[in-house]
Amino acid sequence: MVPGEDSSLIAHRGGDSGYNTVESLKKDGETSLEYEFWYMTKTSIPLIITFLLQCSLSSSALVFAGRVGTLEVGGISIGNVTFAVTSAIFIGIATCLDTVCPQAYGAGKYNMVGLYFQRGVAISFLFAVPVIAFWYNSEYVLSFLVEDADVVHIAAVYLRIMILSLPGYIIFECGKKYLQAQGDFVTGQNILFVCAPLNILLNYLFVLKYKFGYIGSPISMVLSYTLMGLTIVAYICRQIYFGNSSCWHPITGNFSAIFKNWGPLIALALPGLIMIEAEFFAFEIITVLSAKFGTEVLAAQSIVATLQTFFFQLPFSCSVAASNRIAYHIGSGITENCKTATKATMFGVGPAAGIINFTVLYFGRYKLCSLFNADPVLVNKAAGLLCVVALNQIYDCFNVMAAGVLRAQGRQRIGGYLNIMAYYLVGLEVGILLAFKFKMEVLGFWIGIGVGVLFLAIGENYFVYISNWRNIISKSQDLRHEA
């Protein structure tokens, strides 16, 4: 137990459902490597389910578009990737909550958890303005990147409809971080247990049964994200009025506090945004350039990109769990616990996630690709690309875990710089050279990205290795004083 922590809050967290119990700590307040590995594995499971179910929302659109036609697959794919890249802005902004909310909770500054959440939502809505403008005018922009006018039109219609999903999307993303900081990793999962199957049902009804065509998919996603946002708001309200309100910052009489001291959060959010956007935008470039090799190649690339995104949720979920855990230890101020949790992340949870992803993607590549389309030629093309994606998983897990540690430390800036270098000075440069100069087409893109990811993993792990934990803890305390 952290010195000075309110025993009532420990009771509220309920043993295994929250952070360290008294039994999990040594007499001197230090944790153990075994416990940290077990704890992060346990908390990763609901996060994995949450992210996979959330990822299935856009994957369902591609699957149902495949039942309509190849042209629709290409258009929905471009729309999906563009949605993923631009909506990742809000995931990037929410990463600052991965730093500040668990740190505040670990330090016993419970009221700050709610205030950080409210500020995160406000900042996200501000950033939504240019995103909405881009989505509304996306047909004009995408026409410079994709030659097929029909594909561009489908993607643009998709994005215009998706504008209506943003309020629910933003509130759900920030709401998850608010609850996770308190040790609640299951509420987001439970909401998606309802909304993900509902999204599939709505896709079936709108796209196939009632013949809305491809626009049935974005309509389904809008309804699903709106319900997700409303449900998490309802849960938080229930928590405030009928459960524990210690982490909530009262809005009445304190509304102006939400719009103050945004500087420290934005300083963390922008590099976090760059870390995520650099990767997402690199895959957007690959998908767009793939269109130059024909509709069939674009369809194969779309299948592989969707599967890669889907399986990325496993290490990313483990990374979020690790980030929350390490940030909690930083807030509590116990240096050895920070080191122990980092070792459990880098040498336990991360490699396990990488091995699982490699095994499923490599040995199940034909079966996975056939889920999207029955054309054997298309399946073979996609399965060949998936071999490279599977190999990338072995070292990508170290990159993803190290990024989680850097987020916990509040050192997103390092990750931001390294991501730009890895993807744009190494990965895409090598990929474009192999694709066009050496005629390897899309395969060359994926090999190049793999080289970039390897560079990124080495760089981020180096900075994690040289971490000055005392300085990191001190800066965490300064950040809370500024707020």
Q: What is the mean pLDDT of the chain?
A: 89
Asked if residue 272 is part of any domain, the answer here is yes
CA-to-CA distance for 450 and 483, rounded, in angstroms? 40
CA-to-CA distance for 258 and 126, rounded, in angstroms? 13
DSSP 423: I
Asked if residue 13 is part of any domain, the answer here is yes
CA-to-CA distance for 483 and 481, rounded, in angstroms? 5
Total number of domains constituting the chain: 1
Considering the entire predicted model, what is its pTM?
A: 0.85
Strands (E) in 227-371, as ranges, are none
Report whether pLDDT(264) > 50.
Answer: yes
Element of type H or E holding 343: helix 335-344
- Of 271, 405, 288, 408, the closest CA to residue 349 belongs to 405
Pick the more confident residue, 12 or 45.
45
At 21 the three-state DSSP class reads coil
- Give the highest mean pLDDT range of 9-23, 295-309, 379-393: 379-393
- Of 401, 379, 218, the closest CA to residue 316 belongs to 401
Q: What is the pLDDT of residue 19?
A: 42
At 340 the three-state DSSP class reads helix
Report whether pLDDT(27) > 50.
Answer: no
Its domain, for residue 85, covers: 7-482
Mean pLDDT of 236-263: 88
Q: What is the pLDDT of residue 483?
A: 63
How many alpha carbons lie under 13 Å from residue 105 in its C-beta half-sphere? 34
Strands (E) in 308-446, as ranges, are none
CA-to-CA distance for 389 and 12, rounded, in angstroms? 43
Count, residues in the chain? 483
Question: How far from the centroid of its chain's Cα atoms is residue 337's Cα?
Answer: 26
Pick the more confident residue, 59 or 190.
190
Asked if residue 219 is part of any domain, the answer here is yes
Asked if residue 1 is part of any domain, the answer here is no
CB count in 10 Å sphere of residue 91 = 19
Asked if residue 105 is part of any domain, the answer here is yes
pLDDT tens digits for range 60-107: 887 887 677 778 888 888 898 889 888 988 988 898 999 999 999 999
* Band of residue 3 on the pLDDT scale cut at 50, 70, 90: very low
Pick the more confident residue, 201 or 287.
201
Compute the C-alpha angle 354/358/362, nearest 5°. 175
Which of 18-27, 228-237, 401-410 is least confident?
A: 18-27
Asked if residue 2 is part of any domain, the answer here is no
pLDDT tens digits for range 449-471: 999 999 999 999 999 999 999 99
CA-CA-CA-CA torsion sign (266, 232, 56, 167):
negative
Q: What is the pLDDT of residue 60?
A: 85
* Band of residue 482 on the pLDDT scale cut at 50, 70, 90: low
* Band of residue 478 on the pLDDT scale cut at 50, 70, 90: confident
